[in-house]
Structure 1
Amino acid sequence: MTAIPLVLDGYLDELPVPDDGGLTARFRVISSPTDDATDETVFACRTADPHLAHALLNLMQPGDLLRIGGHLALPCPTDEGGPRMNVDALELLAPAPARHLAEMVLDRYGSYLVVFDPDVDTVPVFTESGTWVGTAEHADTITDLIRAHEAGSPPPTP
């Protein structure tokens, strides 16, 4: 397998998939040098860095503009699978634009679930097993609420 050093900017295509209990992650990045859909390339990516995997699984969302660095692994003709980007550097360049909500939406932040209701600013947060985490005052404070929960702090009262 040939590995080519590469840095590229692109959009996170979908929620990352955890491997090895969340220590590694698989994800896809869509990159286009011209912003024309006909020039887009989808890169299958993987990171073995637990810090990057944590950031991808807990802080990133589809549509985020990322700068990724690593090595593009090109398979030999006898290898199975296609090209893959082994990522060892990750930078959030711009968060995904806020989506205009017309109805209630359930979304995932890593192993947490949040409920967006277009009629209210507050956002209820639960673990994927259904444990109550708390209510974020608005979408920008969801990550703070999750961090407080993981640190063992009681949920703030609205």
Structure 2
Amino acid sequence: MTLHIVLVEPEIPQNTGNVARTCAATDTRLHLVRPLGFNIDEKSVRRAGLDYWKYLDLEVHDNLEQFFEKYKERRMFLATTKGGEMYADVKFKDEDMILFGRETRGLPKNLIEKNKDMAIRIPMSENTRLRSLNLSNSAN
């Protein structure tokens, strides 16, 4: 089964590089949706991916609208702290996509509101003071 990881407007190159390395190691396609908070040729992105970067199945999209237009027929899950269903309870299918938002704000609120039924979450302690897990930990 092949899943797609989609990073929407990622800001931190090291996080993206870490996710890219995992995607390369698992033959998972990585989608980056602009604007990006860095240049994908930047040394820190490649460094985090080490020598795996050349094996990465990468697709870059100019914006979220372009991405949705191209993949409108795919099932897309929104990773968010507001998700109702736990990711482990989802019966993923081949070619499903999991979208992760930018590190500082997550996915656009209107996107989550319109697609509540596709919002999933990673469990965290109810007593935590943290807003969320790190992007690269969540996507990996």
- TM-score range, shorter-chain basis? under 0.3
With normalisation by structure 2, the TM-score equals 0.25
Higher RCO (CA < 8 A, seq sep 6+)? 2
Larger Rg: 1
Q: Which of the two has greater strand per residue?
A: 1
Q: Which of the two has greater helix per residue?
A: 2
With normalisation by structure 1, the TM-score equals 0.23
